[in-house]
């Protein structure tokens, strides 16, 4: 990764587009609160497009960092929108409509970006995850591209969250390659060092040390994946290129990741 996940959360610049893959909403809430709080400390307003089930978690974590949710809203530093309602407002009869997206999201940005200073905003959104969980991965991918196109014209950074099983073969083959392609920063698991160790141990167990080393070399030489952490790139690569062994590697990595550190 060109920038660590912690550095992204603290210093996300305009056009930065991060994504966290998560299983536990509490892990996502930690990242969202850190991301928004770091922006508020820099006088960068926040936009939170969230599901009701997660909103209270986000508010609790943000409050713990000294930024009262209600106070930030009343001061015009934070705008909250319902993810389901936002999705409904950008859908037309034939699916996502770019014009509706521009109107709705542009309106949210206008609420926090005004005056001569035009401060860069920090946006968190769950709409893409709603589409993904409805088996509308193509629409989620299209929405990510709309966000990236808008970021060329407006000053904001964006954090997305996807609830996915990172050790599932279908996720590694069908979903995660699209997600990784559209984001500048990727966190495949909350504890990335433990995740990387789990993938390394699984490779060595299933393939042996020599073949595991070969996989590292092949994956590290592949172009166009600067933003993807190596362990995640490896799981996508073995899932695509080693179908017979990949299920064993994913199962072993899952076991190692769940195992407490010695």
pLDDT at 57 over 50: yes
185 and 111 within one domain: yes
Residues making up the chain, counted from first to last: 262
What CATH number has the domain bearing residue 84? 3.40.50.300
Contact 229, 1 (CB under 8 A): yes
145 and 22 within one domain: yes
Residue numbers of the domain that contains 243: 194-258
103 and 16 within one domain: yes
Has this prediction a pTM greater than 0.75?
yes
Q: Indicate the range of 72-76, 120-124, 193-197, 223-227 predicted with least confidence.
A: 223-227
174 and 81 within one domain: yes
Separation in Å, CA 243 to CA 175, 204, 217, 223 = 16, 17, 19, 22
Domain boundary among 164, 190, 216: 190
Question: Distance between alpha carbon 77 and the CA centroid of its chain, in Å?
Answer: 22
pLDDT, average across residues 195-222: 96
203 and 185 within one domain: no
**Domain count of the chain?**
2
CA distance 52 to 88: 15
158 and 92 within one domain: yes
Q: What beta strand segments (E) does the chain contain? A: 17-22, 46-50, 78-82, 91-92, 95-96, 121-125, 156-163, 185-187
CA distance 178 to 129: 13
pLDDT band at 262 (very low <50, low <70, confident <90, very high): low
């Amino acid at each position: 990764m060109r920038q660590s996940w912690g550095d992204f959360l603290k210093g996300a610049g305009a056009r930065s587009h991060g994504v966290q893959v998560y299983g536990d909403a509490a892990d996502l809430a930690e990242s969202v609160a850190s991301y928004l709080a770091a922006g508020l400390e820099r006088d960068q307003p926040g936009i939170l497009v969230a599901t009701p089930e997660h909103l209270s978690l986000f508010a609790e974590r943000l409050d713990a960092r000294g930024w009262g949710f209600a106070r930030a809203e009343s001061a015009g530093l934070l705008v909250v929108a319902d993810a389901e309602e936002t999705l409904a407002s950008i859908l037309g009869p034939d699916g996502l409509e770019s014009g509706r997206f521009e109107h709705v999201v542009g309106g949210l940005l206008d609420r926090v970006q005004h005056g001569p200073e035009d401060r860069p905003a920090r946006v968190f959104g769950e709409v893409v995850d709603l589409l993904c969980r409805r088996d509308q991965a193509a629409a989620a991918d299209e929405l990510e591209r709309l966000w990236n196109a808008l970021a060329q014209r407006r000053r904001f950074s964006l954090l997305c969250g996807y609830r996915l099983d990172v050790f599932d073969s279908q996720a590694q083959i069908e979903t995660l390659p699209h997600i990784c392609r559209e984001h500048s920063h990727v966190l495949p698991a909350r504890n990335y060092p433990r995740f990387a160790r789990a993938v390394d141990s699984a490779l060595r167990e299933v393939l042996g040390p020599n073949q595991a080393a070969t996989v590292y070399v092949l994956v590290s030489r592949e172009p166009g994946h600067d933003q993807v952490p190596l362990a995640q790139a490896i799981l996508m690569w073995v899932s695509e290129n080693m179908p017979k062994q990949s299920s064993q590697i994913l199962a072993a990595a899952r076991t190692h990741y769940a195992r407490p550190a010695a």
